[in-house]
Chain A
Amino acid sequence: MREGHFRNPSGCAVAAVIDRGGNKLTGESMISAIEVMHDRSNGLGGGFAGYGIYPHFKDVYAFHLFFDTQRAQEETEAFLKRHFEIVYCSEIQTRKLPSVKNEPVIFRYFLAPLPIKLSNSHLDEREYVARCVIKINSVIDGAHVFSSGKNMGIFKGVGYPEDIGRFYRLDEYEGYAWTCHGRYPTNTPGWWGGAHPFGLLDLSVVHNGEISSYDANRRYMEMFGYKCTLQTDTEVIAYIIDYLVRRQRLTLEEVSHVIAASFWSTIERKEEPARSQETLLRRMFPSLLVTGPFSIIVGYSCGIMGLCDRLKLRSMICAEKGDRAYISSEESAIRRIEPSLDRLYSPAGGEAVIYELYDRGGQA
């Protein structure tokens, strides 16, 4: 059985770093951070998301794809040609390691939507691209788009995260923000698409936990055209955030009041306008409350967000040093790459920690 044919909960390690001034750092620092938390993974999945890594192609969408078969690649490329102008494409360069086995064919495409197709679709550009991604992943057997944002990329696979990072030669990429993930699934997936981060457009999510609200969330999200093909918690959380931020235009902090909402009794004690705003958000989106243990790190063009479930059933710690901010499952991972910190703290359950670029990457 492969990922997507069964539900696969997993324990994990997560970590992230951002340079708020926009200075670049290589993927190597993330690799050494996650390596410290080796025991939180079991060699069945690891991955990274890097932001700001494709400055030369920053205005087009970078698709990363896994192909199981030649035929899947041909079908996908035919689909891509019908919907996009392929600006550049190549196999993703990897370093062969004995510990990373059975890798699929891994390709990268830089894509610009075909203007006529886009305007005929009556969709905004991002919705158009998102639908194409969902279409490929749910319709073309043996093809999987695992990264689809601008000036960012996800790199993931089956193995320990430090090995996956070296396999993808992340020491050769430079970005202003990185997130990473080591996976401890309770099933044997053996499929690369199931690893984290999970992404859609520039949004990426790494997640530690097993949510108990999964099917309530999934069945709700599928009303809006999302197809949860992987049946993982991370996938549904990513779709929820995409839906709330991109389609309902909520802020990330408002998103945290939906998915990790305060208890009614806590909300009642809050000051206005927080009380009425949080009440309203819970009444508007009750089916998007996520229960059960989770700690997630969300990456997006402007920054990173850390968030735990409202009971804080998974560990998460945040730190700051100069322009740099860190989020991790364990303090050890942060100390590994920055031994002396200005500030170190544990956010409360349901408390969103948001670190953004000082200039928000030029975005509003």
Chain B
Amino acid sequence: MMLEITPRRALQSHIATPRFETPFHPRIAALSETNDWYTWAGYKAPHSIFDEELEYFAIRSTAALFDISPMVKYRIAGPDAERYLNRLTVRNVAKLGIGRVHYTAWCDDHGHVLDDGTLFRLSADTFRLCCQERHLPWLLDSAIGFDVAVEEETMRIAGLALQGPTSFAVLSKAGFDGIERLKPFQLADFPHEGGTVTISRTGFTGDLGYELFVPAEAALSLWDRLWAAGQLHGIRAIGYAALNRARIEAGFIVANADFMTAETALRADRARMPDEIGLDWLVDAEKVNFNGRKAILEARRNQTLKHVLVGLEIEGNIPADGAIIYHRKKHEAGLVSAAIWSPLAKRNIAIASLTRPYGTQLTEDLWVEIYALRELQYQKMMKRARIVPRPFIKLDRRATSPPGLF
């Protein structure tokens, strides 16, 4: 029998697009000087656009536009939506007001973190959950017994982060009237091209900033509106490398970079409880039952938590990315998962996971071993590390309301 190739090809058209392009891609591609792309959740996303260093300084000095469309987004709606999310996530959703956003995490039955993300309360019964990994089967199975509809809207909704000191000025200039009333973690709908754009005062930089969500069809017109308004305010398109520096300074963790999510970890001992990745403050033990509650409280009670996530300040100026941490230069104590020289803090900073009691009882005499590859020769360094609170930087402009017109 001859295999008919043509009908088979027709059924597999998706293989022609191994990487999706986001709704903003035409604009970003036109601006790209470095042609430096990576894959983010199946999308082509810029690692840098013109200069990683200058892009970082756009975040801290002017306004940076970052495409967050590949972020996984779910719409959760129905009479039981609050009840459903309260069982799903560790934080108390009853305390999340309408038009507010909070950072949260969700766990499996064993209390292992499946992901972290932001939860937007769009109305009393309508929410948007944004995260790194895909979770539709888990979210749907979690809906058994609830009057709630869960829908993935990653492709349908385009997202932009506008971050930096002049971001408020850009939005004002672009004519988003009332934007000055948005307080941190607050959201509101604004008119755009006959539709609406949902703007929240949130971000991943620790700076003054906003996130904007529109239907994919309205993506380019939104970009153009911001771009035009931002010309005199130093607006720049940026890639992930710059954003990553800012988020490390802000002390934010990234799923599957600073911790392994429970469903992607292949090795049983890699899964983490909230308390093991610095998210203990999210867990509301007093609210109604939620996934993982029993396991988390038992681990606290029985003191079986094995890890702790900390911020480190390391002597010198060599980023310690991936370095092993030692106690008394001898006993292995943990691993650095993210590290940079912070241009803003002027410190060598890192996010690290330590195996308890290192980082809890034993917090002194910690060292990181840095291997710097210099022209085909490693230079080994043992540098002193000090546990410091996160965030590494604190910017008043982030929370000032109304924000300053820089």
Question: Are the chains A and B members of one assembly?
Answer: no
